[in-house]
Amino acid sequence: MAKITYCEHDGVEHVVDVKPGLSVMEGAVKNSIPGIDADCGGASACATCHVYVDAEWTSKTGPKTPMEVSMLEFAEGVAENSRLACQIKVTDELDGLVVRMPQSQH
Amino acid sequence: MSDGAIDLRAEARAKAYAMPLEDINLADPELWRADTVWPYLERLRKEDPVHLHPAHHHPDGAFWSITKYADIMAVDINHEVFSSEPSITIFDPKEDFTLPMFIAMDPPKHDVQRKTVSPIVSPANLHLMEPLIRSRITKTLDELPIGEPFDWVDRVSIELTTQMLATLFDFPWDERRKLTRWSDIATAGPESGLFVTEDYETERRTELFGCVDYFTRLWNERVNAPPKGDLISMLAHGEATRNMDRMEYLGNLLLLIIGGNDTTRNTMTGSILAMNQNPDQLRKLHENPSLIPSMVSETIRWQTPLSNMRRTATQDFELGGKLIRKGDKVLIWYASGNRDEEAIENPEAYIIDRERPRNHLSFGFGIHRCVGNRLAELQLRILWEEILPRFPEILVLEDPQRVPSVLIRGYSSMPVMIPARS
């Protein structure tokens, strides 16, 4: 299990254990964490699971896929550390990961 | 609704399963107008989910019908193989009347034009618009007659979405119904009843040239003034759009007019119809208004205001065991994917608190996903936040008239009556 901290935009933190193999998006949805809509269900096709990955973790969450880059083009408030949570696969190495959510999913 | 509707559905079902598969023609507007298309879609999903229609099914030739949720998603997100050029409808562009618009463009041009207009529906802008939208909705609802029949489509759905559009364009307020007319004309075929002569194509073009002339006056006003937050000003000052020619301007205008008008309009009407057919869901909503956002998503799925989008294959591609060839026309039927039992549990039912109401295809997926989806949801949410405390029920008096369109799942009229205010 990897411990993942999801921070809502207003600062509320949710710390949950997520099974390796799931995506960071699925970890949020399965634990009913608000702020991640995941309209497309994990296909990197809607950008409604947009998160910011804390700086110390960006090297471990892997590169963005080309489709993810395309979808982030049209998301709101995109930054260098923006990711689609459905494209980050949880591994033991990500134990302790912190992701922050934008004001709203768009 | 009435028993007559049930008979019609049973009859359509028997017919859909009796005819040879190759005779099923989803491009027949009558199936959509009569709302009898569902068993045909169901049969294709079961028996031939990647289906090739013969050339005689449509004036512009053969086309594929993709009817299952997962296949539709696969096509929608693969914009390199499935291009949005030259058209996103079943009709090919007419050589002498081509309307470029960013929905029917591929990257990179699509990306920059879309980004020019998308700030108008940014979360910050929606937040600013919310009080205005609410005040208009409350005014429109408060003026509705009590205890006498009226047309919900005209009095509420058209009125509210046209007001919204006029605001987004900063369009002359008293002439805003011109926008409704242009929206209707742009998507209408000969069977729509909107044209007076047989030469409907000439009539349509004449009216659409009138549309672009009107908007050119607005453009000239705005381009000579400092940039402001309306769509015309954004286009006139935007790096990627300020040099558009007349036809590209018209194309993008129609995209925004249809996208910002027809779809939300018909979902507003659909929400009233769905609640009439499912009184238990209305009760649930009255008991728990916090379900409104979920109800909005469910209604958008249930209505699917655009039944399909068209793509064109840029290379040979195998899908569901079939070989789609380079140049083939591919229709992805959102209306069918949204009823696919393999993707959505109990898809025929209207369930306002279903588990994943946002997992529907109505906005499309991938780079062409509806840019105004949050604005649509906002309008529908506020509409119902204001209906619930005012009206215990809104009765649909007879089946609505549906438009005979293969693309637009919409209503031209729906007589209703509000028995009493709360």
ipTM of model = 0.93
Q: Does A73 touch chain B (CB under 8 A)?
A: yes
Which sequence spans correspond to the domains of chain A?
A: 2-100
Helix (H, G, I), strand (E, B) or coil at A84: strand
Cα gap B129→B118, rounded to integer Å: 15
Q: Which one-letter amino acid corresponds to residue B195?
A: F
- Is the residue at B342 inside a domain? yes
Instruction: Please report, in angstroms and rounded to a whole number, the separation of the first and last CA atoms in chain A.
Output: 30
Give the pLDDT band of residue B4 (cuts 50, 70, 90): low
Nearest-angstrom CA–CA distance, B247 and B255: 12
The answer to whether the bond into B86 is cis (omega within 30° of 0) is yes
Report residue A3 as tokens.
């411990």
Q: Do A106 and B122 touch (CB under 8 A)?
A: yes
- The total number of structural domains that make up chain B: 1
The whole-angstrom separation of Cα B65 and Cα B83 is: 16
CA distance B98 to B118: 24
Which pLDDT value is given to residue B261? 83
Q: Is residue B297 part of a domain?
A: yes
CA angle B202, B207, B209 (to 5 degrees): 95
User: Cβ–Cβ contacts within 10 Å for residue A92, how many?
Assistant: 8
The model's confidence at residue B3, banded by pLDDT at 50, 70 and 90, is low
| CATH number for position B251 | 1.10.630.10
B415 neighbors B397 (Cβ within 8 angstroms): yes
**Structural domain range at position B366:** 3-417
Residue B365: Cβ within 10 Å count: 24
* Closest residue in A to B115 (Cα–Cα): A74
Judging contacts by C-beta atoms under 8 Å, the chain B residues touching residue A45 are 73, 76-77, 365-366, 369
B92-132 pLDDT tens trace: 998 888 889 999 999 999 999 998 888 888 888 899 999 99
Domain-located, residue B422: no
Is A41 an interface residue toward B (CB < 8 Å)?
A: yes
Would you give the DSSP letter of residue B54?
P
What gap in Å lies between CA A43 and CA A40, rounded to an integer?
Answer: 6
Q: pLDDT tens across B254-289, in order?
A: 999 988 788 999 999 999 999 999 999 999 999 999
Helix (H) or strand (E) holding B407: none
Nearest residue, CB atoms, A43 vs list B77, B107, B111:
B77
Of 3.40.1010.10, 3.20.20.140, 1.10.630.10, 3.10.20.30, the CATH number of A2-100 is 3.10.20.30
CA distance B66 to chain A (A): 18
pLDDT value of position B7: 78
Q: How many CB atoms lie within 10 A of CB B169?
A: 23
